[in-house]
Amino acid sequence: MTASYEPNNIFAKILRGEMPCHKVFEDEVALAFMDIMPRAEGHVLVIPKTPARGLLDMPPEALGPYMLRVQKIAAAVNRAMAADGLTIQQFNETAGGQVVFHLHFHILPRHDGVGLRPPGVMGDKAALEANAARIRAAL
């Protein structure tokens, strides 16, 4: 059985403005911001404003509009970072690799011959903001 949504998770706090982020995009459906531990230059997270623990908890009527935002942000990341491809990840529950229990997609721009960085390494704040500005300009 899946646990219930916890409204004090870090992404809920970001949505409420209680925690800062390097914002890329926001509307009534979703918020996109830079991952502070980027596995690739331009690593962005896209979260819904609908409280959902994971993909299986998202109301179907909210999923479609949210996925349109994921696609829009992915296209902007691809353009802004001059990527050769994208890795898009979404994890569900601890066994599936989820760490923050608010639905989110990772958008990682990829370049031929360049591997992902190891997880858990903080990014440079100036680089995060510069990449956010590049992606905002591509929107």
Query: Residue 44 has which token pair?
Result: 């962005």
SS3 2: coil
> Which residue out of 22, 102, 104, 106 is catalytically annotated?
104
The Cα–Cα gap between 29 and 112 comes to 33
d(CA 84, CA 15): 31
- Give catalytic status of residue 43 as yes or no: no
DSSP letter at 93 equals T
Coil/strand/helix, residue 15: helix
Q: How many alpha carbons lie under 13 Å from residue 46 in its C-beta half-sphere?
A: 29
Q: Which residues are catalytic?
A: 104
